[in-house]
């Protein structure tokens, strides 16, 4: 690069009028080692800038452990897997049920029914001497749900299946827990062994 050319660029550089590309050329010029001696005084500035750009984060510096994120994903995946497994089991057992669409309404009734009936049944058994006033009430209750009175057995079946599914989950959890306890006690005994040997 000619002296006049670089001098012109420098004049504009001090005024903040150079483009990034021109600034790169200026830095390259002063770092080439073959710059005009008349510009010797300001050369260190552009050498300093280039040196600073070469500074890098030390390789040994640890950068973002992915572990916490991976752990969260693992937990999410396990839960998803559990839910899917549960759904499959429930679905397999439920093949007798004709339509899956019916299940939510059946479930709804399963929730409604005990709430409506249980207190009245209890009343009926306690007030055995006065069964008649209790009966009309019961009829009222039945009227409310009259639209699908024959669902009862289905509801019972649904309840039973939910119970079975929950029992299965709880059994698995129990098994897991007992395995964990076994493991923990095993670790404890393992810890004790060297101590005894040492002592």
Partner 1 sequence: MTRDLFHEQVFPIRHKLYRFALRITGSVHEAEDVVQEVLEKVWKTAPEQTDHIQNWEAWCMTLTRNRSLDKTRSQTIRRTASLDGVAERKSESINPAQATERNDLVARVKRMMQELPEKQRLVMHLRDIEELSYDEIAESLNISLDQVKVSLHRARKTIREKMIND
The answer to whether 18 and 9 are in contact (CB under 8 A) is yes
Helix (H, G, I), strand (E, B) or coil at 49: helix
The answer to whether 32 and 41 are in contact (CB under 8 A) is no
* Of 4, 14, 128, 129, the one binding partner 1 by CB under 8 A: 14
Least distance to partner 1, CB of residue 76, Å: 14
* Of 34, 55, 96, 100, the one binding partner 1 by CB under 8 A: 55
The answer to whether 127 and 75 are in contact (CB under 8 A) is no
* Of 34, 57, 190, 198, the one binding partner 1 by CB under 8 A: 57
Q: The tokens 């021109």 sit on which residue?
A: 22
The answer to whether 134 and 120 are in contact (CB under 8 A) is yes
CA atoms within 13 A on the CB side of 162: 12
* Of 4, 32, 61, 144, the one binding partner 1 by CB under 8 A: 61
SS3 content of the chain, % helix, strand, coil (to 5): 80, 0, 20
Q: Interface with partner 1 by CB under 8 A: which range of 1-9, 46-54, 99-107, 158-166?
A: 46-54
The answer to whether 46 and 27 are in contact (CB under 8 A) is yes
Of 68 and 194, CB closest to partner 1: 68
Binding mask 66-95 for partner 1 (x = CB under 8 A): --xx--------------------------
* Of 2, 4, 32, 58, the one binding partner 1 by CB under 8 A: 58
* Of 3, 11, 44, 135, the one binding partner 1 by CB under 8 A: 44
How far, in Å, CA of 67 to CA of 73, rounded?
10
Least distance to partner 1, CB of residue 3, Å: 18
Kindly list the residues in this chain that would bind partner 1 in the complex (CB under 8 A): 13-16, 20, 23-24, 41-42, 44-45, 47-49, 51-58, 61-64, 68-69
């Amino acid at each position: 690069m000619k002296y006049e050319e670089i001098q012109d660029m420098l004049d504009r550089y001090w005024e903040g009028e150079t483009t990034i590309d021109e600034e790169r050329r200026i830095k390259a010029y002063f770092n080439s080692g073959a710059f005009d001696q008349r510009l010797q005084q300001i050369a260190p500035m552009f050498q300093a800038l280039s040196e600073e750009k070469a500074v890098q984060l030390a390789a040994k510096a640890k950068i973002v452990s992915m572990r916490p994120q991976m752990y969260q994903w693992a937990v999410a995946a396990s839960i998803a897997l559990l839910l899917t497994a549960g759904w499959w089991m429930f679905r397999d057992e439920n093949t007798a049920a004709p339509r899956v669409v019916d299940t939510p309404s059946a479930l709804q009734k399963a929730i409604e029914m005990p709430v409506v009936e249980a207190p009245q049944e209890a009343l009926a058994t306690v007030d055995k001497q006065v069964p008649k006033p209790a009966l009309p009430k019961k009829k009222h209750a039945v009227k409310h749900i009259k639209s699908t009175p024959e669902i009862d057995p289905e509801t019972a079946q649904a309840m039973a299946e939910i119970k079975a599914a929950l029992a299965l989950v709880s059994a698995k959890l129990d098994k897991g827990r007992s395995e964990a306890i076994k493991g923990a006690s095993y670790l404890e005994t393992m810890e004790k062994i060297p101590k005894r040997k040492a002592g």
